[in-house]
Chain A
Amino acid sequence: MKSIKHHLTDALLMSYAAGTLPEAFGLVVATHVSMCDECRARAESFDAVGGGLLEEGPVSAVSADCLAATMALIREAKAEREERKPHVAGVLPQPLQDYVGGDLSAIKWRSAGLGVKQAILSTADGATARLLYIPAGAAVPDHGHRGTELTLVLQGAFRDQTDYFGRGDVEVANEDLKHTPVADIGEDCICLAATDAPLRFSSWLPRLAQPFLKI
Chain B
Amino acid sequence: MLVAHELIMDTAGSHGEITRVIKAYGQTPRKAVIVNKADDAEKWVELLRAVRDRQDQSAFAALFAHFAPRVKAFLIRSGMDAAQAEECTQEVMAALWTKAHLFDPARASVSTWVFTIARNRRIDLARRNRRPEPEDLPWGPEAEPDQEDVLLLQQESENLGRAIATLPEKQRDLIEKAFYGDLSHSEIAEITGLPLGTIKSRIRLALDRLRHALA
Contact = CB atoms under 8 A, between A and B. Distances in A.
Majority SS at the chain A contact face? helix
Interface in B101-158: 101-102, 107-109, 111-116, 118-120, 122-123, 128-136, 138-140, 157
B191 interface: yes
Contacts of A49: 160, 164, 175, 179, 194, 196
Contacts of B189: 9-11
Contacts of A10: 189, 194
B112 A47 contact: yes
B70 A95 contact: no
Contact of B73 (A58, A84, A94): A58
A19 B122 contact: yes
B194 to A, nearest CB: 6
B26 interface: no
Interface of B: 30, 33-34, 57, 61, 64, 67-74, 76-77, 82, 85-86, 89-91, 93-94, 97-99, 101-102, 107-109, 111-116, 118-120, 122-123, 128-136, 138-140, 157, 160-161, 164-165, 175-176, 178-179, 181, 183-186, 188-189, 191, 194, 196, 199-201, 203-204, 207-208, 211
B166 to A, nearest CB: 11
A31 B109 contact: no
Interface string A6-33: 0001111011011111110111011101
Contact of A54 (B71, B122, B184): B71
Interface residues of A, number: 72
Interface in A62-81: 62-63, 66-67, 69-71, 73-74, 77-78, 81
B129 A22 contact: yes
A118 to B, nearest CB: 19
Nearest to A63: B86
Given A11-B189, A77-B94, A84-B102, A51 B114 contact: yes
Given A27-B132, A51-B115, A77-B94, A18 B108 contact: no
A57 B178 contact: no
Interface stretch (A36-44, A103-111, A163-171, A207-215): A36-44
A84 B102 CA distance: 8
A98 interface: yes
A48 B160 contact: yes
A83 B181 CA distance: 29
21 contacts: A11-B186, A19-B119, A19-B120, A19-B123, A20-B178, A25-B185, A38-B204, A50-B115, A50-B119, A51-B113, A53-B164, A53-B175, A55-B70, A56-B33, A56-B34, A57-B70, A66-B89, A67-B68, A70-B93, A81-B98, A82-B99
B64 A70 contact: yes
A48 B203 CA distance: 10
A25 B130 CA distance: 11
B94 to A, nearest CB: 4
Contacts of B184: 20
Given A48-B160, A74-B94, A82-B99, A40 B134 contact: yes
A53 B203 CA distance: 19
A193 B139 CA distance: 30
Contact of B207 (A9, A40, A51, A81): A40
A49 B112 CA distance: 8
A186 interface: no
Nearest to A58: B73
B183 to A, nearest CB: 7
Contacts of B186: 11
Given A18-B181, A51-B113, A53-B175, A87 B188 contact: no
Contacts of B109: 48, 51, 55
Contacts of A181: none
A54 B136 contact: no
Contacts of A52: 111-112, 157, 160-161, 164-165
A125 B126 CA distance: 13
